[in-house]
Amino acid sequence: MEHKKALIKESGNTSDGIYELLRRKILEFTLLPGETLSENTLAAELGVSRSPVRDALSRLVSEGCIVVYPQRGTQVSKISLQRVRQFVFMRTVLEKQVLAELCATGIAEEHFEMLEQSLMLQRQHYETQSTSELLYEDLRMHQLLYEFCGHKSAWVPFNMLDCDMLRISCLQIRTYSYNVTMAAVDSWENALIEHRMMFDALRKRDTQAVCLLCSRHIEQIVWSGEDLRRIYPQYFELDIA
């Protein structure tokens, strides 16, 4: 317990530390979707008062990571495929525009090198099964694309709304790491190949190819989500769709 407290205190104020701790635990499935939480219990476990816990929870609510039922309880939000579809729609449309602009203007060689390096790191993390690092690097690569075409800050909202998508990615990696027999359908292997193909198309400034690859790549997340819902229905919202 005191150990956790020490970790929390590191990042400036207590509330921020709790926020980051809980967010990480949720995205890594240490706290499972649907699991109930309690301000009192959390505060006791972390050795702090309820105030910073409330602050942290409040922020997680605004990101859709947890849900609070007044006077009844708090729980880790279940993954909503509806939210995921909304998210995917937005990212697809925006990212196609970003890539189209990059094809139109071309990319500086130094920028290409940064992308290549990111892709290399991704493969590395993939082979060593460093889940968190892989996901982080994937996000960073997409972020770079926004940055290179002058829409750096248009990525920002996604950092607030990607809770469900990150959990799907994480769950997917875990599932297909443990079931080696299903390695054939491991779509992360696929994702890395698609990234490579996107780079090639970008070099050739082939707008159509890039956009097509981008759509398929992002929409893959929805398919993964639907697969995973069949395996872990308890982790998913039963939204009518």
Partner DNA sequence: TGCAATATACTTGTATGTTAGTTTTTCTGG
Partner DNA sequence: CCAGAAAAACTAACATACAAGTATATTGCA
List contacts with its own copies (CB under 8 A).
Answer: 13, 54-55, 58-59, 62, 70, 82-83, 86, 89-90, 93-94, 97, 151, 153-154, 156-157, 160-161
Q: Which residues bind DNA (CB under 7 A)?
A: 13-15, 37-41, 48-52, 54-55, 68-74
Distance in angstroms (rounded) separating the CA atoms of residues 240 and 237:
9
Q: Which is nearer to DNA, 50 or 216 (CB)?
A: 50
Q: Token pair 């970008």 is at which residue?
A: 202
Q: Which is nearer to DNA, 71 or 181 (CB)?
A: 71
156 binds, among DNA, its own copies, none (CB under 5 to 8 A by kind): its own copies
How far apart are CB 19 and DNA at their closest, in Å? Answer: 10
Question: Which residue lies nearer to its own copies by CB, 54 or 140?
Answer: 54
Please tell me the distance from the alpha carbon of residue 165 to that of residue 79, in angstroms, as a whole number. 9
Nearer to DNA, 66 or 214 (CB): 66
Least distance between DNA and beta carbon 59 (Å):
11
Q: Looking at beta carbons only, is 51 or 129 nearer to DNA?
A: 51
Q: Give the integer Cα–Cα distance in Å for 167 and 2.
A: 28
CB of 44 to DNA, least distance (A): 9
- Shortest Å, Cβ 164 to DNA: 21
Residue 83's binding partner among its own copies, DNA, none (Cβ under 5 to 8 angstroms by kind) is: its own copies
Q: How far is the CB of 62 from DNA (least distance, A)?
A: 13
User: Could you say which of its own copies, DNA, none residue 72 binds, taking C-beta under 5 to 8 angstroms by partner kind?
Assistant: DNA
Nearest to 201 by CA among 99, 65, 124: 99
**CB-wise, 146 or 235, nearer to its own copies?**
146
Residue 70 CB, shortest distance to its own copies, in Å, is 7
